[in-house]
């Protein structure tokens, strides 16, 4: 199970009240198998440095990778295959972070926990849970 960037932050900061019931159940079922796309690390650091997401400002100088490792979250790298898949999605979904995360789900055949249901429009062989 891959966590989209928002739920990933909720999870590592133990803000479980911000997760839906279904997302919490999915996390409980997959506990030791929780993953994140390296694209989420980029998104978190980028938005922290830009100051556009107050919950992640502590990562403006880095440290998100260590926080994820401490939380037991496996980080999947962005390979050439994933980058190409992200580029091949329909042009109607323009968020590059979502495209990388969706392509990671597709490459690893894993479902996604996301509160952003528009990312589900990119789904091929995976489902979006919220």
pLDDT in tens, 29-51: 877 799 999 999 999 999 999 99
Contacts 24+ apart (CB under 8 A), 68-72: 68/8, 68/12, 68/36, 68/41, 70/12, 71/11, 71/12, 71/34, 72/31, 72/32, 72/34
For range 95-116, the mean pLDDT: 94
- In the chain, the domains with their CATH numbers are 2-129 (3.40.50.1010)
pLDDT more than 90, % of the chain: 74
E strands within the chain?
2-3, 35-37, 74-76, 112-113, 128-129
What's residue 15's pLDDT? 84
Q: What is the pLDDT of residues 48-75, one digit of tens each?
A: 999 999 999 999 999 999 999 999 999 9
* pLDDT, mean over the chain: 92
Q: Does residue 16 register a pLDDT over 80?
A: no
């Amino acid at each position: 199970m891959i966590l989209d960037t928002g739920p990933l932050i909720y999870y590592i900061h133990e803000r479980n009240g911000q997760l839906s019931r279904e997302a919490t159940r999915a996390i409980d079922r997959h506990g030791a198998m929780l993953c994140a796309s390296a694209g989420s690390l980029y998104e978190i650091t980028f938005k922290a440095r830009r100051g556009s997401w107050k919950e992640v400002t502590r990562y403006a100088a880095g440290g998100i990778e260590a926080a994820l490792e401490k939380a037991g979250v496996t980080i999947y790298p962005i390979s050439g295959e994933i980058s190409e898949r992200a580029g091949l999605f329909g042009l109607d979904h323009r968020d590059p972070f979502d495209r990388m995360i969706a392509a990671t789900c597709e490459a690893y055949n894993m479902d996604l926990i996301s509160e952003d249901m528009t990312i589900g429009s990119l789904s091929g062989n995976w489902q979006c849970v919220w």
